[in-house]
């Protein structure tokens, strides 16, 4: 008697459909590995956690790239019911996140394919992504051989040989496991440096927004303070005190460039402390060591030194002996507003790379940083050491020579 086949109809389409889903997962993982910045923005938008520079997103990005790559390889090489259900569950989670993004007009692009994705095309991008995910979920949970209807025939021993002949089970071999591990390791090796780069880019973008706010705050402060820049020192006292909130603290004269934002933070600017400091926790520790209250901000946005001394003080590399030049100056006296830097972010661009690895980046030819200008603009500029535009006071101030801070002729000079 001829044996009856119990193979499920459409079973021959199972592997190709699952392989297509696996390829989509793999493309998404590779895209996120090459450029995780879109995903970082989405995570930071949906699950904001206070902290410096999106640091909390590192582990979720690495975990997501690893999970997607592992599911992709399993769907392509050794699909099982558990793998398909896991992939479907991940897609349901993605769809929920995309729905939240689609309902909020100010949300960032979806970042589904990282650097391989399309530019932000509005709500249509989210609709297309949600539709794709739902279609993949349907495939993963309904393809024959992965899930079984209640009325499907029950496996029985007499039919086992026929069933194995028509739809043989395929085990997950050691070689395939090693391939998965190698591919996942390669993706992780790609995503780690790319993630560092994307975090630096995110910091630059956020820094420029803060710089514009600071420039606007300085203008508003000057309009109510007889056109003066924020000034918290004692005139003519090189080593002395600063005054914040009616209290006095020990600080070198030009060291006040780290504390000037405290004058603006209560009224003229709207930026969280975590965005104004390199490390708020270290700042609190430093404040305690110098008998300062914990709420004092040690800003990485340093105001130009020319705001604290008259222009003749900055004419020569050798500082003059006339301490009467150490005084407040006026914003309208700036001669080149579009070329004179107002503040520089010492936690952006090259400064961040150098802080992570001084030996590796000390000789970088590209040294960029975020800075604002006295006309209210902000941009990322290359650092230079042009002696025609900068005075070299590194011997006296124990600070590196950079534009904005040590401008020749002070507010009468220009950095660019």
Predicted TM-score (pTM) of the model is: 0.59
**Domain match, 280 and 133 both:** no
**Any domain includes 347:** yes
Q: For the chain, what's the residue count? A: 416
**Any domain includes 69:** yes
**Domain match, 234 and 172 both:** no
Of these ranges, 143-152, 163-172, 295-304, the one predicted with the greatest mean pLDDT is 295-304
**Any domain includes 208:** no
pLDDT at 154 over 70: no
pLDDT at 207 over 80: yes
Question: What does the DSSP 8-state code read for residue 27?
Answer: H
Of 77-86, 147-156, 204-213, 335-344, the poorest mean pLDDT is in 147-156
pLDDT of residue 289: 87
**Any domain includes 187:** yes
**Domain match, 231 and 110 both:** no
pLDDT per residue over 78-107, tens digit each? Answer: 888 888 888 888 888 888 888 888 777 667
Residue (of 212, 232, 201) closest to 328 by Cα position: 232
**Domain match, 179 and 259 both:** no
pLDDT band at 340 (very low <50, low <70, confident <90, very high): very high
pLDDT of residue 189: 59
**Any domain includes 209:** no
If one counts the domains in the chain, the total is 2
Question: What residues pair up with 369 in beta bridges, in sequence order?
Answer: 381
**Domain match, 165 and 75 both:** yes
pLDDT band at 194 (very low <50, low <70, confident <90, very high): low
**Domain match, 156 and 246 both:** no
**Domain match, 176 and 314 both:** no
Range of the domain at 311: 225-412
pLDDT of residue 378: 93
Question: Which residues, in sequence order, are CB contacts of 160 under 8 Å at separation 6+?
Answer: none
| Sheet with strand 301-303: strands edge to edge | 301-303, 341-345, 368-373, 378-382
**Any domain includes 206:** no
**Domain match, 116 and 243 both:** no
pLDDT of residue 186: 64
**Domain match, 36 and 179 both:** yes
Residue (of 203, 198, 192) closest to 63 by Cα position: 192
**Any domain includes 78:** yes
Q: How far is CA 167 from CA 6, 114, 156, 164, 329, in A?
A: 9, 37, 15, 5, 85
């Amino acid at each position: 008697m001829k044996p009856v086949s119990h193979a499920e109809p459409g079973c021959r389409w199972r592997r190709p459909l699952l392989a297509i889903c696996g390829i989509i997962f793999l493309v998404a993982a590779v895209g996120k590995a090459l450029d995780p910045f879109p995903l970082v923005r989405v995570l930071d938008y949906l699950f904001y956690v206070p902290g410096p520079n999106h640091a909390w997103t590192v582990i979720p990005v690495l975990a997501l790239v690893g999970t997607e790559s592992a599911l992709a390889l399993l769907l392509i090489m050794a699909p099982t019911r558990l793998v398909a259900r896991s992939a479907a569950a991940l897609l349901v989670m993605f769809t929920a996140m995309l729905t939240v993004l689609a309902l909020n007009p100010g949300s960032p692009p979806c970042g589904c394919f990282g650097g391989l994705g399309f530019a932000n095309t509005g709500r249509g991008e989210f609709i297309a992504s949600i539709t794709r995910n739902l279609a993949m979920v349907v495939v993963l949970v309904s393809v024959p051989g992965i899930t079984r209807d209640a009325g499907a025939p029950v496996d029985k021993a007499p039919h086992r040989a026929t069933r194995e002949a028509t739809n043989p089970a395929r085990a997950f071999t050691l070689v395939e496991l090693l391939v998965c591990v190698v591919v996942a390791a390669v993706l992780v090796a790609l995503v780690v440096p790319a993630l560092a780069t994307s975090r630096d880019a995110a910091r630059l973008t956020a820094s420029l927004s803060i710089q514009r706010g600071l420039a606007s705050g300085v203008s508003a402060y000057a309009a109510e303070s007889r056109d003066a820049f924020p000034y918290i020192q004692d005139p003519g006292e090189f080593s002395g005190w600063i005054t914040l909130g009616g209290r006095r603290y020990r600080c070198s004269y030009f060291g006040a460039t780290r504390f000037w934002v405290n004058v603006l933070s209560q009224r003229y600017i709207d930026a969280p402390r975590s965005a104004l400091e390199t490390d708020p926790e270290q700042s609190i520790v430093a404040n305690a060591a110098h008998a300062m209250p914990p709420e004092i901000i040690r800003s990485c946005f340093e105001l130009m030194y020319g705001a604290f001394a008259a222009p003749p003080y900055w004419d020569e590399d050798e500082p003059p002996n006339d301490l009467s030049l150490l005084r407040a100056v006026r914003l309208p006296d700036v001669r080149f507003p579009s070329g004179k830097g107002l503040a520089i972010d010492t936690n952006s661009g090259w400064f961040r790379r150098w802080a992570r690895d001084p030996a590796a980046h000390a000789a970088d030819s590209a040294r960029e940083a975020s800075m604002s200008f006295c006309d209210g603009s902000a941009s990322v500029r290359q650092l230079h050491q042009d002696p025609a535009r900068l005075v070299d006071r590194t011997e006296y101030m124990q600070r590196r020579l950079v534009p904005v801070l040590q401008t020749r002729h002070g507010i009468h000079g220009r950095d660019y």
